[in-house]
Structure 1
Amino acid sequence: MDIVNFFVSLLKDPRSAIAGWIVALGPVWVYTPLFLIVFVETGLVFFPFLPGDSLLFAAGVFSAPGGGLHLGATLAVFYIAAILGNTSNYWIARFFGSRIIDSGKVKSLTPERMAKLDGFFEKYGGLTIVITRFMPFFRTFAPFIAGTGHMNFAKFTLFNAIGGISWVSLFVLVGYFFGGIPFVQEHFEVIVLGIVAVSVAPAFIGAVKGALAARKK
């Protein structure tokens, strides 16, 4: 239950978590939990619910002058975590993908989401890895599906790097440049939840459309 409460509070207010890590871990080791959360969200298909977008945004806020983090270090740590995470996910799928899918233990890896990603790969090819970076749940499953046979590793690595750098840069820099605005500071939790809602919206809309289509059939 404690771990569930931790993730819920991290999702609602990553600012408090990062502030606590800065105090407890110092200016160097504070990057360890930041790295791990992004790496685990993107690298392990069992943890698609971790708050990547809101964490990047909040870290960007703390990377502004006087915030406790350094912008260059924040970007570098998240770039590495995002790219290595997807790479790990890809190779896990290469070696164990069919076993994991057949076991049914990853409840969030539903047939509907797999079909959706299959459609993405057919329509957009390698760009799927870039597009899904901005879609919670799908960004965790896309490299996994790519590793099951949709893409060779060289092509995957190119799009993985483009997607990881684009995703991290967008959310961290938005937090860096706009996080100090008084309105943002005063309504931080609402804005973070708004970021989560906007990020989840495509997946939610797709699920609704899929349910309606299935009902018509």
Structure 2
Amino acid sequence: MAHDLADFLGDVGPLVFYLAVWGLVFAGTALFVGVFIPFITGDSLLFGAGILTGTNPELSIWVLAIGVGVAAVLGDQVGFWLGRRLGRPYLTRRGGRWVQAGVKRAERFYELFGWWSVVISRYIPWGRVFIPPIAGISAMSYWRFLSANIVGALSWGVLITVIGYFAAVDPGVRPVAYIVAGVVILASLVAGIRAWVLDRRARRTLPE
């Protein structure tokens, strides 16, 4: 990913590079692109962009990271608005069986974690796409969603981008940066597994 981004930057320059990264982050949730290409709109993109910023003096990590955070917030807000405006049919029309399985999993995740599901889902590829419209469909209040969205989107967008930057610029910090990145990924896996376990337990308690 970092090599591809470097080639792209050499062709288009810093401004278009920023806009492309921000646009992919926004489209990942607002336009459902993250369902089909999660690695190009998620953690790998941010980490690679951070690494490239650390090796290119024309780029600013603060411009990149803050822009990523804003794009992530706006993308989730669009997903939330579409869910509230169009209702459950908006998700029903989204694709085949595997997409609908992801929708059902996200619905259960939202039921289990509520406000925290919006925060945690930012670190889970399928969650960051499905949770915002599900929160809108479930009539979560606008300000409640916005607060969770800001916490999740900014922590995810800024954190992973900055980790990639420090992995490139400081050899002494590089091992720590990779460890933190690993912890973030592991936390995403744990959150998904915990949701699956709680869902299985809840299903067992349902009457036959």
Q: 1:209 to 1:110 in 2, by over 3 A?
A: farther
CA distance in 2, matches of 1:177, 1:159: 27
Alignment of 1:1-217 (within 5 A): 14-48=1-35, 49-51=37-39, 52-64=42-54, 66-103=56-93, 105=95, 107-111=97-101, 113-180=102-169, 198=186, 201-202=189-190, 205=193
Q: CA deviation at 1:159?
A: 0.8
Q: Percent identity?
A: 28
Q: Deviations over 1:80-115 (max 9, x none)?
A: 21011101111111222322333362544324x334
Contact residue 53 and residue 196 of structure 1 kept, 8 A: no
Instruction: State the TM-score, normalized to the length of structure 2.
Output: 0.76
- The aligned counterpart of 1:188 is none
Q: 1:90 to 1:211 in 2, by over 3 A?
A: closer
Q: Deviations over 1:62-92 (max 9, x none)?
A: 2226354211110122012101110111111
Instruction: State the TM-score, normalized to the length of structure 1.
Output: 0.74
Q: Deviations over 1:143-202 (max 9, x none)?
A: 0111112411111111111111100122111111123467xx9xxxxx9xx899758745
Contact residue 35 and residue 77 of structure 1 kept, 8 A: yes
Note the residue ranges of structure 1 that are not aligned, 5 or more in a row.
1-13, 186-190
**Once structures 1 and 2 are overlaid, which stretch shifts more, 163-172 or 96-105?**
96-105
SS of 1:159's equivalent?
Answer: helix
CA distance in 2, matches of 1:172, 1:86: 18
Q: 1:132 to 1:104 in 2, by over 3 A?
A: closer
**Which letter maps to 2:19?**
T
Q: How many residues align?
A: 197
CA distance in 1, matches of 2:71, 2:78: 10
**Which letter maps to 1:66?**
N
CA distance in 1, matches of 2:21, 2:118: 22
CA distance in 1, matches of 2:29, 2:94: 20
